[in-house]
Amino acid sequence: MLPDPADIHRRYEATKERIEQACIKAGRSVDGVTLVAVSKTFPTDFIRVLYNLGHRHFGENKVQELAYKASFLRESGDCGDLHWHMIGHLQRNKAREVVLVADVFHALDSDRLAEELNRRAEAADRSLSCFVQVNISAETSKHGLGPDDVHAFITRTAKFERLTVVGLMAMARPVFNPEDVRPEFAKMKNLLDSYPAHDNPRADLKYLSMGMSHDFEVAIAEGATHIRIGSSIFGPRAGMVPAGDMIGPDRVA
């Protein structure tokens, strides 16, 4: 069941209010937190509702869906200045598409993918800002680099002149109480801050993409700069496990 536009408007304002409160509590400026509205599975009409409220940052986890929505909206002429965040795992054969349609890629997690993205970006005369995905809760996530491998990986990306590593991204375990994943978020902040900058002067490590509908307040408290929020704004997606039913690492939304 899809919510109607008035619902989206109300949910969006309520979500922004929660973000503001979380920032106040953490003693942070709300300007330091970018809300990426995750529109996956929802129609472009829903994106337009947010666009008309002044929102510009949108995220998709499948490159085909992102490409379709971006070109549909661009061609309809009224939302040309969107910032598209590709937030999902990427196969190398889709690298070209990402380079063409995404402004930011949140899931860089291998040398081969970095090499292919760089090659495609060069061919298209584009450049791409990337977050390195970290597998911070090794038990559940299939994607992302192990925390111990992250620094060496960032150093190796120095040779890819079309890519700029701007930060780290993680998905925390789906838990009933978001407080349980606070240590994972804290570990991410620590990984970001402890990278020896001189090892890769081309990297510009300043952002942390972490926090989703269920846990963004804790993520903000631990330093998130980009929170990726879908269901809090757009409503539940088909087949989604409600947050209250997430009882442990073996239940995945």
Ligand X SMILES: *Cc1c(COP(=O)(O)O)cnc(C)c1O
Apex 73 CA angle, 68 and 75, nearest 5: 95
Exactly one of 15, 39, 61, 141 binds ligand X (CB under 6 A); that residue is 61
- Binding-site string for ligand X from residue 134 to residue 173, where x marks contact by CB under 6 A and - marks none: -------------------------------------x--
Asked if 213 interacts with ligand X (CB under 6 A), we say yes
Binding segment for ligand X (CB under 6 A), chosen from 24-32, 62-70, 111-119, 227-235, is 227-235
Interface stretch with ligand X, choices 8-16, 45-53, 178-186, 206-214 (CB under 6 A): 206-214
SS3 235: coil
Shortest-Cβ-distance residue relative to ligand X: 230
- Contacts of ligand X in 111-130 (CB under 6 A): none
The rounded distance, in Å, linking the Cα atoms of 139 and 249 is 7
Q: Which of 88, 144, 147, 178 binds ligand X (CB under 6 A)?
A: 88
Residue identified by tokens 């620590």 is 190
**Exposure string over 185-199, b if 16+ CB within 10 A, otherwise e:** bebbbebbeebeeee
Under 8 Å between Cβ of 140 and 186: no
Closest approach, Cβ 38 to ligand X, in A, equals 4
What minimum distance in Å lies between the beta carbon of 23 and ligand X?
18
Q: How buried is 66 (Cβ within 10 angstroms: 0-12 exposed, 13-18 middle, 19+ buried)?
A: buried
Binding positions for ligand X, 1-40, rule CB under 6 A:
38, 40
Given 144, 147, 223, 230, the residue binding ligand X (CB under 6 A): 230
What beta strand segments (E) does 61-201 contain?
83-86, 104-108, 128-133, 163-169
The closest of 196, 200, 143 to 170, measured between CA atoms, is 143
Q: Which residue of 33, 87, 108, 203 would you call a contact of ligand X, by CB under 6 A? A: 87
Q: Residue 4 CB: number of other CB atoms within 10 A?
A: 11
Residue 228 as a binder of ligand X (CB under 6 A): the answer is yes
Q: Which listed range, 68-76, 184-192, 195-203, 226-234, lies at the site for ligand X (CB under 6 A)? A: 226-234
Nearer to ligand X, 66 or 82 (CB): 66
CB 128, CB 102: distance < 8 Å: yes
Q: Please, which residue, 47 or 200, has the CB nearer to ligand X?
A: 47
Show the tokens assigned to 193: 């801050």
Enumerate the β-bridge partners of residue 130. Answer: 105, 165
Q: How far is the CB of 229 from ligand X (least distance, A)?
A: 5
* Residues in touch with ligand X (CB under 6 A): 38, 40, 61, 87-88, 171, 212-214, 228-232
